[in-house]
Structure 1
Amino acid sequence: MNKTISSLLMGAALIAPVTTFAETPEEKGYAIAVEADNRNLGWKDSTADMTMVLRNKRGDESVRTLRVKSLEVQDDGDKSLTIFDEPKDVRGTALLTFTHKVEPDDQWLYLPALKRVKRIASRNKSGPFMGSEFAFEDMSSQEIEKYDYKYLKDEPCGELTCFVVERFPKDENSGYTRQIAWIDQAEYRVQKVDYYDRKESLLKTLTVSKYNQYLAKYWRPSESLMVNHQTKKSTTLTWENYQFQTGLSDSDFTKNSLKRAR
């Protein structure tokens, strides 16, 4: 996942330990988010291959292959370009995302069958991305300024111990009223997120796994599973062939780049 489905999603010397100065649950929750973000600074750009597996409530599967390009942006959110390669009916479809720290994100979808670029309106960001259980807003990088935070507790998560942090989207067009994230205390990586819909009901759970470290610093998952508890559908994203600092620039992330994405 780019710092998107993936940043949903990280050093230690950059701030004091969160348990030292964080006094309130809100302060501690924010400090954990800052530490996670600080651990993920400086990667510049990346590319990766992705496989998307869609499952309906009967367990029937459809498979899509994609490529993802990401660009770290100073003083703002990251940029990403997601390109579909297979199957043939979606080949050439591309999503361009400009994440912003405070302002609403900008997103454009290129549909080759129509040969046009469609802007995704802010009010539609909660809609499903290409029929998956990931919403358009899930495809943006998870900038810390987008949320208010509250530390809830420490809790075992598999073989690790996690901070459990509640975060509240500031964007009034978000499809979520709140999210509960499990962030491991060893490396500040997101392990799981529960998403609650506008009716405060549990909507989805994201499980992030099989992390690998790159450039001796940056952790990226090899697999993310999003389960929709209300529809019983799920989507698995798997990544491979991560490459960093490949020389991408702003010119690779324009609306014109959507049309020529191959």
Structure 2
Amino acid sequence: MKKTVIVLLTIFIFNLGIAQNAKDILQKVKNNTEYSTSQMDATMIIKKGNKKLSEMKFKSYLKKGDKDRQLMRFTYPSRLKGTAILSSGDNIWYYNKRTNRVRLLSKSAKKGSMMGSSFSYEDMTIDFVNDFKSELQKTTNKYYVIKMVPIKDKKFKYLIAYILKDKYIDEKIEYYNDNEIKYKELISSDIKKIDKIMIPLHIEMRDILTGKSTEMITDESSIKLGIKIKDSIFSERNLKR
């Protein structure tokens, strides 16, 4: 009986150690890729197969703090110019320039497609360290492979992240639904070190079920890190400027 207890305790401690290691790895990823403030320009291209369906450009402002805040203001095409998406903590607002209306997205709306892309609105506000219970599934010569189960209700059941061991950045993230079927995957490439921060200049979300994909390409020359950004930038009032 004592031997059984010791074996079970050993297994428990071993599993606890793996879970802790997974969180440590994700914290290193966060430290390695996170910046306090940023401003950058990006292009979003939506495709199905090799056919381009639409192209949008936007300017992004980000500020970290008690609540992470991000503003995306679209500059192209002309029909979308001035339209904006604001996130602050768990809240996301959508401003339609044509109707001059601001809408606070509901819980279900945040799970929907962002601007017709393969990204959901909630994909843009994920915190790998604090929003998940994580487990290191295996290590390879190239990757730490980590399973992440969301603490709060999300559209996906869990994620599988492939973390580059030499850069501590996620190169691929797989999304699994309630049936444990992989339905999306996020691929990061053209990873550059800018001001000691690892930034993927090209990310692509692939929707496996629909065959659609969305590329986000950041203009490296537009990236400004650690700059001063006024809190008023991230206000509902500023959405209508």
| Aligned-residue offset at 1:39 | 3.0
Q: Is the 8 A contact 1:207 1:225 kept in 2?
A: yes
Match of 1:26 in 2: 19
User: Which amino acid letter does the alignment assign opposite residue 34 of structure 1?
Assistant: Q
- 1:55 pairs, out of 43, 47, 53, with 47
| Aligned-residue offset at 1:28 | 1.8
Q: Is the 8 A contact 1:57 1:231 kept in 2?
A: no
Q: How many residues align?
A: 226
- 2:132 pairs, out of 129, 147, 167, with 147
Match of 2:122 in 1: 137
Note the residue ranges of structure 1 that are not aligned, 5 or more in a row: 1-20, 100-104
RMSD across aligned C-alpha pairs, in angstroms? 1.8
| Aligned-residue offset at 1:141 | 4.3
State which structure, 1 or 2, has the greater radius of gyration over its C-alpha atoms: 2
Give distance in 2, aligned partners of 1:62 and 1:72.
Answer: 31
Match of 1:17 in 2: none
Match of 1:44 in 2: 36
- 1:90 pairs, out of 76, 80, 85, with 80
Give distance in 2, aligned partners of 1:50 and 1:116.
Answer: 24
User: Which amino acid letter does the alignment assign opposite residue 70 of structure 1?
Assistant: L
User: Which amino acid letter does the alignment assign opposite residue 185 of structure 1?
Assistant: K
Match of 1:194 in 2: 174
TM-score when normalising by structure 2:
0.88
Which one has a larger percent helix, Structure 1 or Structure 2? 2
Match of 1:128 in 2: 113
Give distance in 2, aligned partners of 1:197 and 1:77.
Answer: 28
Give distance in 2, aligned partners of 1:107 and 1:259.
Answer: 15
User: Which amino acid letter does the alignment assign opposite residue 21 of structure 2?
Assistant: K
Give distance in 1, aligned partners of 2:146 and 2:128.
Answer: 15
The DSSP-based 3-state class of the residue aligned with 1:109 is strand
**What are the superposed Cα offsets for residues 153-188 of structure 1, whole Å, 9 maximum, x if unpaired?**
1135xxxx110001011111x101000001111121
Give distance in 1, aligned partners of 2:68 and 2:128.
Answer: 9
Give distance in 2, aligned partners of 1:23 and 1:220.
Answer: 31
Quickly say closer, same or farther: Cα 1:33–1:22, change in 2 above 3 A: farther
Match of 2:231 in 1: 250
Give distance in 2, aligned partners of 1:56 and 1:256.
Answer: 36
Give distance in 1, aligned partners of 2:146 and 2:88.
Answer: 26
Quickly say closer, same or farther: Cα 1:146–1:238, change in 2 above 3 A: same
Q: Runs (4+) of structure 1 moved beyond 6 Å?
A: none
Q: Is the 8 A contact 2:86 2:92 kept in 1?
A: yes
Q: Between the two proteins, what is the percent identity of the paired residues?
A: 26
Give distance in 2, aligned partners of 1:117 and 1:171.
Answer: 25
Correspondence list, 1:101-250, <5 A: 105-156=90-141, 161-172=142-153, 174-215=154-195, 217-240=196-219, 241-250=222-231
User: Which amino acid letter does the alignment assign opposite residue 29 of structure 2?
Assistant: A
TM-score when normalising by structure 1:
0.81
| Aligned-residue offset at 1:258 | 1.1
Match of 2:61 in 1: 69
| Aligned-residue offset at 1:254 | 0.6
